[in-house]
Amino acid sequence: MISHRMIKMTEGGSAIRAMFEEGNRLAALYGRENVYDFSLGNPNIPAPEKIRSEILSIAGNTDPMALHGYMPNAGYPFVRKAVAESLNSRFGGAFGEDNIIMTVGAAGGLNIVLKTLLNPGDEVLTFAPYFLEYGNYVSNFDGVLKAVPAPAERGFQPDAEALFAAVTEKTKAVIINNPNNPTGVVYSEDTVRALAAALGRAQEKFGNPIYIIADEPYRELCYDGAAVPWLPGFYDNTIVCYSWSKSLSLPGERIGYVAISPKAEDAGLIFSAAVIANRILGFVNAPALQQRLVAACLEEKTDVAAYDANRRALYNGLTQAGFQCVYPSGAFYMWVKTPEEDRAFTQRAKKYNILLVPGSSFACPGYVRIAYCVSHDMIIRSLPAFRKLAEEYGLTK
């Protein structure tokens, strides 16, 4: 009796969420410490202490009417101004408060941007492997998501020529997720420059603007000096969707922003429409308290040392066991080649209480994603289990 689309979705479910629940089931059976749940990108580094102190200060010192009342649907002007100035000081550019919309996380931001841009049948491109939720976000607005492979042989860096070839007259946008979930690869400046050039040519070819939607919740999570190129510096028609979920370990709080490049075609119209989309999709505005909170914490640095230690330990342990892994430069995911079909592999891994997400869930079979935003201790404890798993396949040298 419910919507046909939703019936299908209840049958499909989310592989990642299913794993999360499987983890809880196994933990109840074997004890939490004996289950190696690498399924969910839930940061395990606590939010910085300043988050707590600022909540106490905001709640303690702000008039409740000002604190909890409505504000413009785009968010508090002072918060948007602070975000714009922070972007300008970090990356250059001329963002103003009317280029910034505070959103219910990056997921909320992506949805309002897609609602703003898409007519039914419009195409959105992205690079596989990709966060499968993009397909749902695009189809919410009757768009069609098409994936262009970011090939393993290029170290999962996207190929600009393949992107150019995939553009049609229906292409409205390209979602670029950097650092990439699930591979942990940081798309390099060379890659970004080539993608921007290819899209510039495609815009000329078809005579339409094609927007880059930069999905960047992992921007601050980079290792070994890697840096994520700032897309608005390379391509005018760019809209950035950001979230503090990962950088400040606030995923449950649902706070992010959309930044529309002031150089984008129709930047003002996109802003107006996206603010309306924010309202009519039912977000209304990003949570008030969290807006004030992030404005007070714009200078907080993400502590990536713990993720980095996990990354090294896991990479060393897995490669020594015989697995082939991408050595990630960003995010907190490791992307590992599977010695058999990836869903079968994740099933077999469960025998050792190891929970992974199959590459099929990212439109890239033959791999698994390991979310290493877990305790270092769990990484160390899991390595013998991974070794046994490798032995089943005769991988161990």
243 and 331 in contact (C-beta within 8 Å)? no
Which tokens is 166 given? 């995939």
Q: How far is the CB of 41 from a copy of itself (least distance, A)?
A: 8
Q: How far is the CB of 156 from a copy of itself (least distance, A)?
A: 25
Which tokens is 91 given? 């990356």
Q: Which long-range contacts (CB under 8 A, 24 or more apart) does 223-229 make?
A: 223/304, 223/307, 223/308, 223/311, 223/328, 223/329, 223/330, 224/329, 226/186, 226/329, 226/330, 227/186, 228/178, 228/179, 228/186, 228/187, 228/330, 229/178, 229/187, 229/188, 229/189, 229/192, 229/193
Please identify, using beta-carbon distances, which residue of 68 and 154 lies nearer to a copy of itself.
Answer: 68
Q: How far is the CB of 243 from a copy of itself (least distance, A)?
A: 10
Please identify, using beta-carbon distances, which residue of 146 and 246 lies nearer to a copy of itself.
Answer: 246
Q: How far is the CB of 54 from a copy of itself (least distance, A)?
A: 9
Q: How far is the CB of 272 from a copy of itself (least distance, A)?
A: 5
Please identify, using beta-carbon distances, which residue of 40 and 162 lies nearer to a copy of itself.
Answer: 40
Please identify, using beta-carbon distances, which residue of 25 and 154 lies nearer to a copy of itself.
Answer: 25
Please identify, using beta-carbon distances, which residue of 173 and 325 lies nearer to a copy of itself.
Answer: 173
Please identify, using beta-carbon distances, which residue of 10 and 394 lies nearer to a copy of itself.
Answer: 10
**Phi and psi angles of residue 205, each rounded to the nearest 5 degrees, phi first:** -60, -45
Q: How far is the CB of 169 from a copy of itself (least distance, A)?
A: 13
Please identify, using beta-carbon distances, which residue of 183 and 285 lies nearer to a copy of itself.
Answer: 285
Q: How far is the CB of 182 from a copy of itself (least distance, A)?
A: 17
